[in-house]
Structure 1
Amino acid sequence: MNKPIPLHQRRRRTMALLASALLGVATCSYGSLVAQPVAAPAKYMLMKIRLTVDGQTAIASLYDNATARDFASMLPLILTMEDYDSIERVSNLSRKLSTQGAPAGMTPEAGELTHYAPWGNLAIFIEPRSYSRSLLPLGKVDEGLSILARPGPYKLRIERVTP
């Protein structure tokens, strides 16, 4: 028969599990804390898209959120991409996208596809930048960012990748 675990050990284990959940740490068998890297939250993917410039192709994944679904409903698109602040390529869309359930803003990474809600444009980040309010996540370039990093203006065709 199993012997009951003393209260002080249950409390220690409970606190270690709580710390693990809140701080992204793991517990070893003795209940001490061991630092572990905290993984970025998973972003669920909606679909793959193809971005073509002068016959060269980049592939990206759209996130599964209302803004990205609204963007996907506009495909295929042909846009003229312009340089903006040397770290992003932007183009106006024919309409603003849904902001339902969107975050207040984001800190984009290189390769991030975004929608800047106030201007209603698509922005592809070539380099990371600091937090920007009203910048909404659409997706991420999986391969071929260098194709999109060329100086603008250039024509970009965006379409769904069919399985």
Structure 2
Amino acid sequence: MKIRFVFDDRTVTATLNDSPSTRDFIAQLPLTFDLEDYASTEKIAYLPSKLTREGAPTGVSSKAGDISYYAPWGNLVIFYKNFGYASGLINLGKLDGGLDRFTSNGSMKVTIESAE
């Protein structure tokens, strides 16, 4: 499954895993919101509705470029730095490139849409 992050100056693609959580996420697309910087490690945004945790592990470790869902808060996470294990974190996929677009400080407006 492919998605696009559409910014005002460029587009970044990503490949998602095939899982119940990912299918729930795809069903909410397209989405437009501000990605907020969190802990100088990741960009986050709250989804309109929570994703299922069916079949998901209790948590995962993440690397820069990973796209995840943090179930306790109901938010989408795009990691731009490596991150250790977190309970409640579900990996949805990975950026195909363009990680540098996510590393600027502060928030950024983006539209996420299906690329298929």
Matched, 1:135 2:84: no
The Cα of 1:73 is off from its aligned counterpart by 0.5
Match of 1:33 in 2: none
Matched, 1:97 2:57: no
TM-score (norm 2): 0.96
Match of 1:123 in 2: 77
Matches within 5 A, 1:49-68: 49-68=3-22
Structure 2 spans left out of the alignment, 5+ residues: none
Question: Percent sequence identity over matched residues?
Answer: 43
RMSD: 0.9
Higher-Rg structure is 1
Which has more strand, going by share of residues? 2
What residue identity is the alignment partner of 1:116? Y
The 1-side partners of 2:17 and 2:102 are apart by: 19
| CA-to-aligned-CA distance 1:23-67 (integer Å, 9 cap, x gap) | xxxxxxxxxxxxxxxxxxxxxxxx111101113111100101111
SS in 1 for 2:22: helix
TM-score (norm 1): 0.69
What residue identity is the alignment partner of 2:5? L
Which has more helix, going by share of residues? 1
The Cα of 1:156 is off from its aligned counterpart by 1.0
